[in-house]
Structure 1
């Protein structure tokens, strides 16, 4: 199995969190081709991708409330964001569903984008913003609100409480609020605020992520082909055939049983614990 097949299999089996990470990486690679200024050593994103704080631009390109969260200003920006996203995603998905995860990610992105544009409009500053940090903070703050005392292990640090991790990130944002990248820090704080609001609403019986789930389900069903019902001829003198008595025990075939065993192994120890033969078997079975 080559590296490309390995990546395809991870994308297929990794769930929504892995797919969001892949989408961010893919958008960054596209950015290197179309938007990177090699002479200036930076990205020049068009205003139909980056979120602008200028109302005259923003009002006519509302989709940028979502697209800005999938592009990044540098490799390090992407790298550290994906590390924190992977960390927050695993914690969130321990307690909640993939649909809730995607809902928090998207709604956190939109909420933070609106707060950013309003803040910069009030401050009379015009600047674009890109990055998934706000959405990541929404996911992290949501799970922290739900389980603040959960113990997590950090490299070079050891065991700490989850709320300690989130608090340090928020304090750093507050300390740098009036320094460089003010808009980025505002969006981070807004993302954390949304994560807190989401979790409190959920605990009170209102799941805000249902909004995103319903929208996605609508478009999925819109483009899904409805199964055609074949015409059946009805005979009046129809004699009901004698029903055969069959066993209610359904046995799995060997292939499905082996797939289930491998998936159980992934859920317990992760994808990387698979042998080369097991990875190849899963890839061939998924075709």
Structure 2
């Protein structure tokens, strides 16, 4: 099995956090082809991708309140965000569901985009932003709000509290607020605030991520054809003889399914990398 097949299998078996990382990397590769200017050595994102603070742009292209969160202005920008996303998701998904993770990611990005537009309107500035930082900050601050005293072991430093890491990131954002990338820092802090707000509302019984789940389910059901009920032909029994009931051919769990379950259990306990080459190839063949 080559590396492409291996990546496909990891994408299929991975959770929503892994899929978001794949999507962000994929969009970055697309932007290198279409939006990177090799002469200037910089990205030039069009107004239908990046979120612009100009009303003439975002009012006609409302999807940019979300699309901007899947593009990045450079490799280091992407790398740092994906490291933090992987870090934050590992803690968040310990306590919350995949649907809550995706819902918070989407809502944090939209909320931060609105705050960016309003902030630049008040400051009388004009710019565009890209990056998943605001959505990721929403995830990080949410889990920090829920479990601030969780121990995190850092290389060369040792054990620290989760809130220590989050506080350092937020302080750095505040220190650079007026130095450069003001719009980016507005969105980061807005995403962080939304993560805090999400947990507080959730603790009071309001799960805002259900809005995103409802929208996704609506479009999924809209484009998914309901299975047709097969035509049933009725036969009359003129001889009044009892009709024998067909013997059920359903097997509760066959050998193939049992093997799949055993491999998935192994992944959940030890991770995907613990699989042998034969087990990976088996899952890939079954998934085709």
Give the TM interval when normalised to the shorter protein. over 0.9
Whole-angstrom CA distance in 2 between matches of 1:233 and 1:261: 42
Residue in 1 aligned with 2:126?
A: 126
Q: Which residue of 1 aligns with 2:45?
A: 45
Question: Which sections of structure 1, spanning at least 5 residues, go unmatched?
Answer: none
Which residue number in structure 1 is paired with residue 273 of structure 2? Answer: 272
**Residues paired across the two proteins, number:** 286
| Equivalent residue runs for 1:115-194 within 5 Å | 115-194=115-194
Task: Tell me the secondary structure at the aligned position of residue 153 of structure 2.
Answer: strand
Partner of 1:255: 256
Q: Distance in 1 between matches of 2:104 and 2:86?
A: 15
**How far apart, CA to CA, are the structure 2 residues paired with 1:270 and 1:66?**
31
Inter-partner Cα distance in structure 1 for 2:256 and 2:207: 39
Q: Normalising to structure 2: TM-score of the pair? A: 0.95
Spell out, residue by residue over 1:61-101, the C-alpha distance to the aligned partner (whole angstroms, 9 max, x if none).
Answer: 11100000000000000001000001111111111111111
Aligned-pair CA distance for 1:151: 1.1
Deviates more, 1:230-239 or 1:274-283: 230-239
Confirm whether residue 285 of structure 1 aligns to residue 286 of structure 2.
yes
| Structure 1 CA distance for aligned equivalents of residues 225 and 43 of structure 2 | 41
**1:20-35 pair list within 5 angstroms:** 20-35=20-35
Report the CA distance between 1:111 and its aligned residue.
0.1
**For the residues of structure 2 that align with 1:14 and 1:169, how far apart are their CA atoms?**
27
CA RMSD across the alignment: 1.8
Distance 2:241 2:182 in 1: 79
Deviations 1:165-186 (A, max 9, x none): 1111101101111111111111
**1:233: Cα distance to partner?**
2.1
Task: Give the secondary-structure state (helix, strand or coil) at the position aligned to 1:33.
Answer: helix
The alpha-carbon deviation at position 212 of structure 1 amounts to: 0.3
- Secondary structure of 1:160's counterpart equals strand
Structure 1 moving runs of 4+ over 6 Å: none
2:228 is paired with a residue whose SS is coil
C-alpha displacement of 1:255: 2.2
Distance 2:146 2:132 in 1: 22
Output the CA distance in 2 between the equivalents of 1:72 and 1:270: 29
| Residues 1:235 and 1:144: Cα distance change in structure 2 (over 3 Å) | same
What's the secondary structure of 2:178's corresponding residue?
coil
Secondary structure, aligned partner of 1:262? helix
Give the 3 Å change call, closer, same or farther, for CA 239–135 of structure 1 in structure 2: farther
Report SS of the residue matched to 2:212. helix
Gaps of 5+ in 2: none
For 2:245 and 2:256, locate their aligned partners in 1 and report how far apart those are by CA, in whole Å. Answer: 30
Aligned-residue offset at 1:234: 2.5
Residue number in structure 1 paired with 2:233: 233
Kindly provide the CA deviation profile for residues 48-71 of structure 1, in whole angstroms up to 9, marking residues without a partner as x: 100001112111111100000000
